[in-house]
Structure 1
């Protein structure tokens, strides 16, 4: 087995490890609200999220293709593979750090930041120029703009949908409404889990396809072999079922005091935004940003003090620094890893 083939296998292994960390890091996206409102028991919720991620992985081909060919241009062979591996290690490292501190940051931005940082470092070392290796227009159109727009849309829609729920059920009995919305949350949480799979599992698929193309295993940077769907979906589902309890606690309890109506509204809004982006644009947006902003929007209907803005501020700061820090870590990993080639 030659060095390039070994590097391809190592890249795939790193991508699958990232997928596993993504699963337990972002499992809160789908089910934190349902657990917090007691709509679902924790293990039942995690199992449902795992199934949703597994199924959703097969529906995110547009997002996978954007990741595989729309963000960076890498040299083929061992040089490009070492860049991919460095970027993945940077993303995995940042995922573990933010999980440890219970911060619901974006695994997607960890991945993109890691790969872009490693690509820039590789471009400087190999060619003396990093700009030609990063497709900045793709970064702006597919990452920066959706990153700005989707949380704003999630917040505004969360606020409006919650106002509509209050108005439609203003004469209902609270105990009866809570029971009804707990049942409804089963559907909204399942929709959120499916949307998470369509986005985040698809990103793992895109990285694996990128490694296959750079390593010369396949000639088409957009072709997705069927086995890639299955292994990416499987590790995402396994990671999800393992649970990310630190982040689930932050999402479900520390931002606002969620009730079943609020949980249903937030999940419905977030899953709608995810589906629209995936099917219409193929944009790899952050599921974390989308659901968290929807929770903040829903909570803000209860007045200024309903949202714990200190916690929200810490989360937003973590959002902002994720991409550049993951890029820096990816670049730092590349510096020693380059000598393996």
Structure 2
């Protein structure tokens, strides 16, 4: 019973923090660069999150619940609880200290650390593959952003170009919402499913029903609204004095990279891939267009979040092992 309650509390807090970090970052960039006012854009993002499992399945979510945890684990629910809770605490601490972070990296590191602390053997091969794809996604976003940016610059101007660009923004942001729902956002459903089932194996054999999916999306939206002002001047906003076509290029580039990763079942960070797309789109006009100092958080997140999350998960696993011994 105690583990079940702890899982529910962890799940609710985790989804709220995902909204505060991921959702607010995506929404802030969309609103700032003309994809629309906050309310319809937030509705678009929330709807995509709720519909994501039904549209795309739960392959990425199952990577969290089953792909990184050994099938013969003696304490699978405790394994997952320790990893998710460690990731949540770490993200809150790093955010409070102003240190760039990634929830996806924190969960991956936290699960690996928790497994080691509980005396289990995490699926290191699978984890290495997932981390490799996660590292490649921002680079793929940058390459696609550069190509799309070059192509957009060659488009002939027309009297109705501003309307076309605004339309492109809406389409690109819609693709971005779907990509987030298909990939990065599925970590929320992984945590929620384990909390609901009270176990790991088989907790996500099928996509969640509509009602639980809507609840997750609404909690995510609440976190987005609560944190929107805090992230409105984030690194992705300050990375370059972006032209409208560069933002649309970056959104489409990041969507393509993240959807491709989803097809492979590998969770990647949407916000990091967006930064890669922005770098590529800005560099299509020359390297000096990019304020490279604001790309440093992407590297910092890997250098700090992953090892710190492993250490936090390891500590949580050791403590849980001592209590249950």
Task: Tell me whether the two structures share a fold, i.e. TM-score over 0.5.
Answer: yes
2:277 equivalent to 1:289: no
146-155 or 196-205, which deviates more:
196-205
The answer to which of 156-165 and 24-33 deviates more is 24-33
Which residue of 2 is the match for residue 328 of structure 1? 311
Report what 2:139 is aligned to.
152
Q: What SS is found at the alignment partner of 2:285? A: coil
Change (3 A) 1:252 1:104: same
Contact 2:79–2:115 at 8 Å: present in 1 too? yes
Report the 3-state secondary structure (helix = DSSP H, G, I; strand = E; otherwise coil) of the residue aligned with 1:85. Answer: helix
What stretches of structure 1 of length at least 5 have no aligned partner?
Answer: 124-129
Name 2:128's counterpart in structure 1. Answer: 140
Contact 2:52 2:181 in 1 (8 A): yes
Cα separation, partners in 2 of 1:36 and 1:252, compared to 1, 3 Å: farther
CA distance in 1, matches of 2:241, 2:97: 20
| Mapping of residues 70-81 of structure 1, within 5 Å | 70-73=67-70, 79-81=75-77
Taking only aligned residues, the RMSD between alpha carbons, in angstroms, comes to 2.7
Residues 1:220 and 2:208 aligned together: no
| Whole-angstrom distance in 1 between the partners of 2:154 and 2:238 | 26
After superposition, the C-alpha distances for 1:221-245 in whole angstroms (9 at most, x for unaligned) are 5424536544433322332343443
Under a length normalisation based on structure 2, what TM-score does the superposition of the two structures give?
A: 0.87
Residues 34 and 306 of structure 1, relative CA distance in 2, 3 Å threshold? same
> Superposed, which structure 2 residues align to 1:14-25 within 5 Å?
14-25=10-21
Q: Which residue in the other structure is 2:161 paired with?
A: 177
Instruction: Give the alignment's TM-score, normalised by structure 1.
Output: 0.83
Q: Distance in 1 between matches of 2:29 and 2:17?
A: 20
Which residue of structure 2 lines up, in the alignment, with residue 242 of structure 1?
Answer: 226
Contact residue 36 and residue 252 of structure 1 kept, 8 A:
no
CA pair 324-219 structure 1, distance change in 2 beyond 3 A: closer
Find the counterpart in structure 2 of residue 126 from structure 1.
Answer: none
User: Which of 90, 102, 106 is equivalent to 1:106?
Assistant: 102
Equivalent pairs, count:
321
SS at match of 1:249: coil
2:68–2:122 contact (8 Å) kept in structure 1: yes
Matched, 1:63 2:60: yes
Judged with a 3 Å threshold, the aligned counterparts in structure 2 of structure 1 residues 177 and 252 are, in CA distance, closer, same or farther, namely: farther
1:47 match = 43
SS in 1 for 2:50: helix
